[in-house]
Amino acid sequence: ASAKTMQNPVFGDQRATMFYCGDDSTAKAIVHRLADELDFDPVDAGPLEMARHLEPLAWLYIYLAVNQGMGANCAFKILQR
Q: What is the model's pTM?
A: 0.88
Does 72 have pLDDT greater than 90? Answer: no
Q: pLDDT band at residue 5, thresholds of 50, 70 and 90? A: confident
Q: pLDDT band at residue 4, thresholds of 50, 70 and 90? A: confident
How do the domains of the chain map onto residue ranges?
Answer: 19-72
For residues 13 and 69, give the distance between their C-alpha atoms in angstroms, rounded to a whole number: 23
DSSP codes joined into one string, 13-49: TEEPEEEE--S-HHHHHHHHHHHHHTT-EEEE--SGG
Higher pLDDT, 33 or 5: 33
User: In this predicted structure, what is the pLDDT of residue 28?
Assistant: 99
For residues 73 and 66, give the distance between their C-alpha atoms in angstroms, rounded to a whole number: 11
